[in-house]
Amino acid sequence: MSELTPSENPESETESPDSDHITIGRIIAPCGSKGKVKVQIETVFPQRFSPGELVFVDGRPMAIADVSWHRGRPMVKFNTIDCAEDAQQLRGKSIEIRQNQVQPLPEDHYYHYQLIGLEVRTTGGEHLGKIREIIAGQSNDVYVVPGTKGEILVPAIEDVVRSVDLERGFMEIEPVAGLLELNRKKSD
């Protein structure tokens, strides 16, 4: 998963298949002949791409040796990559950090990886399903919740999301009129 915006949109920092790591960027392509790579940022903390920072690429620890910026993207030189051929081998790989390295967020803000998989239920106690994915939006995110009655799209707004309990693994919502009926499967 990746690390993005802590505003009304929760962080979209995403959990990698190795659940101890969080994706903060993806390597797009080699850049130049000395082993630099162009990175697509997946974090709202671009300072993570600074010389001396320890990251993981394809599970291997690597230190960032140098960074330059071009059109809002970091061009990263890792300490162990010294030529374009080695950089080419990293194309498409995730750049990750350990989960314990994530930046703390203000109260009532969450990383996306913390929300994926949470059970969603209404304030009336109806179980709707688990959050499968989060669609990032301009004004708010939308939680995709597939369940036995169809897929429900839950807007991440204060009027709908009433509480999040990470320890107990659920989110409680107050559905606005029509929200639950909008995408439910039709009865045969």
pLDDT for 185: 52
* Average pLDDT value for residue range 29-57: 92
- Give the phi and the psi of residue 59 in degrees, each rounded to 5: 80, -10
pLDDT for 17: 46
The beta-strand segments (E) located in 58-135 are 60-70, 73-78, 94-98, 119-122, 127-130, 133-135
Closest by CA position to 152, among listed 179, 124, 173: 179
- Minimum mean pLDDT range among 35-39, 84-88, 145-149, 165-169: 145-149
pLDDT for 110: 86
More confident residue, 5 or 151: 151
* Average pLDDT value for residue range 86-96: 95
Task: Return the SS3 of 51.
Answer: coil
pLDDT for 109: 85
Cβ proximity of 121 and 115 under 8 Å: no
Domains and CATH numbers, the chain: 14-101 (2.40.30.60), 116-182 (2.30.30.240)
Q: Which residues sit opposite 96 in a β-bridge?
A: 23, 56
- Tens digit of pLDDT for each residue in 109-155? 888 888 999 999 999 999 999 999 999 878 889 999 998 778 999 99
Chain-centre distance for alpha carbon 142: 13
Taking only Cα atoms into account, the Rg of the chain, rounded to an integer number of angstroms, comes to 19
Number of residues that make up the chain: 188
Question: In which band, very low, low, confident or very high, does the pLDDT at 178 lie, cut at 50, 70 and 90?
Answer: confident
Task: Return the SS3 of 25.
Answer: strand
Q: Both tokens of residue 57?
A: 């690429």
pLDDT for 183: 65
Put simply, whether the predicted model's pTM sits higher than 0.75 gets the answer: no
**Predicted confidence (pLDDT) at residue 90 exceeds the cutoff of 60:** yes
**Predicted confidence (pLDDT) at residue 51 exceeds the cutoff of 70:** yes
Say how many C-beta atoms besides its own lie within 10 A of residue 99's C-beta. Answer: 17
pLDDT for 143: 94
